[in-house]
Chains A and B, each alone.
Chain A
Amino acid sequence: MIKANHQLDAKGFACPMPIVKTKKAITELEEGEVLEVLATDKGSKADLAAWASSVGHQYLGTVEDGDILYHYIRKGSNEPEVEKNFEHTVSLEEIESCNGLILDVREAAEYAFGHIDGAKSIPMGELESRLEELDKEEEIYVICRTGKRSDLAAQLLANNGFTKVYNVLPGMNEWNGNITKEV
């Protein structure tokens, strides 16, 4: 199962109800959280993706299991782009030839719908409590979707004694290489 913060059951509802209900449900989420929408209306897939992009949410993907569609949407941010502070950065091209660990700090659902092969997943919100899973001697390349969360994650790691940390810019939204899916 893909991990989500909230779940909405829209099974048995025909268009337009899956979207109407999703629109309402997503107001309950914090920015960056993931909503899982269960639906049986086949048309909900294309419509949810189009709706999400039109209102600034991130449509992650859909898993079909029998007649049920599991849609994943991450709530978008209305905040203006913040400046990235962490000074050690590398480009996407550079990490292809790097030997360290790629640490993907996006939500579990984002990771599941496509990540760089071999990348380790620790969502930003869990990072502080899972530091012992990481090796301070290893080079760590932190990546997210746009470079914003990975900037914060890199700072957090540096503050905890990790010295070989790099923020990968821009992030998965511009990654054109191979991706691995776990759906």
Chain B
Amino acid sequence: MTVNKWTAAKVARKVINKEELFILDVRNPDAFEDWKIEGHQFEYLNVPYFELLDGVEEILPKLPTDKDVLVVCAKEGSSVMVAEMLSEAGREVAYLEGGMKAWSSYLEPVKVADLENGGELYQFVRLGKGCLSYMVISEGEAAIIDAVRFTDVFTNFANEKGVKIKHVFDTHLHADHISGGRNIAASTGATYYLPPKDATDVVFDYTPLTDGLNVKIGSSQINVNALYSPGHTIGSTSFVVDHQFLLTGDILFIDSIGRPDLAGLAEDWVGDLRETLYSRYRELAEDLLVLPAHFMIIDELNGDGTVAKRLGDLFKENHGLNIEDEAEFRRTVTDNLPPQPNAYEQIRQVNMGKITPDNDEQTEMEIGPNRCAVR
């Protein structure tokens, strides 16, 4: 039997198209528990590769023959070994090229909407990590919001579209993933914006992203309008794009809200978070389409692969927007928080420019799920 090699892009299509897939994850159980490839219709079997060194006979009855079987490990090596053993036992299986490392770094660009005069808004879905980045394109120019560190994905995409990247924004100083914003700006000559209140310790030059800042993309009407919305961090800033889209960063997600504790100041920032979610956002048009910087669970993906929902619907459905009692809200976002993201302190240091780890070290830091939300 042949051993097939699947790319992360192929697996991404299976997720978005809600197809069936059986995943044999051969990492050790701790790693699997912490983080795996999520799909609406995926089934899983976790048996560490080191328990299969003497043979795969024991797991053969547990593997389906009527659907695709994908063997997954951390970096590929062990999944190739197990896939070959299964192949010798007469099963046709595939392995994931580059393993979970590749899955963590894969970005799927999905078009959110066409804008006026041929403009476009894209969401880059990092399925393996739950990060969402954005590109607004209009009349030969582009703005990028919350870019992850795989900068060539964005620069190549801009080249394919024949547009020049002019503005690069981070809604806040990220703690769960390493920003690509500064590097994109440096390589393209674009302006890099950061909220100054999040940037007090950064060691590089940036352009302050302040409330009310209005940037035009292209020469006509597509604009990106900054709205100060603290709470996840003290500088967190949202964007209203083209009067239709609300980019909420890590303040408001589809099925959860931002957590205020990743810079160590939960008690101080919970009031800001409350004010942003229950006052500032309430003054906005309910028809705005909310586009967050993360998703937490696969159910937050729409049928077309986007992660987006009308603000008015979130006011009705999102639990975090419906806690009337302020004391209860305070408890919800400061007590019983989920574990903090892997290496979040170090990641903040990288995003401040204080440390510059190599690519492998950056990969290690970003291992695991993002945990920026509280439900």
Contacts and interface: CB of A to CB of B under 8 A. Distances in A.
Interface of A: 14-17, 19-20, 23, 42-43, 46-47, 50-51, 54
Contacts of B30: 46, 50
B48 A17 contact: no
Contacts of B31: 46
Interface in B220-258: none
A16 B49 contact: yes
Interface of B: 28-31, 48-51, 53, 73-75, 77-78, 81, 364
Contacts of B77: 14-17
Contact of B48 (A14, A20, A42, A51): A51
B28 A46 contact: yes
A54 B75 contact: no
Contact of A54 (B50, B73, B81, B364): B50
Nearest to A22: B50
Nearest to B82: A16
Contacts of A15: 49, 73-75, 77-78
A27 B68 CA distance: 37
Nearest to A47: B28
A15 B78 CA distance: 6
Given A51-B50, A54-B48, A54-B50, 5 more contacts: A15-B74, A15-B75, A15-B77, A19-B50, A47-B48
A50 B53 contact: no
Contact of B75 (A14, A19, A50): A14
Contacts of A23: 50, 53
**The 9 A-B residue pairs with the shortest CB-CB distance in the complex, in nearest-first order:** A51-B50, A16-B78, A50-B28, A15-B77, A19-B50, A14-B77, A16-B49, A15-B78, A43-B74
14 contacts: A15-B49, A15-B73, A15-B77, A19-B50, A20-B53, A42-B364, A43-B74, A46-B28, A46-B30, A50-B28, A50-B29, A50-B48, A51-B48, A54-B51
B343 to A, nearest CB: 13
B50 A47 contact: yes
A59 B51 CA distance: 16
Contacts of A14: 75, 77
A15 B50 CA distance: 10
A54 B75 CA distance: 22
A16 B81 contact: yes
Contacts of A50: 28-30, 48, 50
Nearest to A14: B77
A73 to B, nearest CB: 13
Nearest to A17: B77
A54 B29 CA distance: 12
A20 B31 CA distance: 19
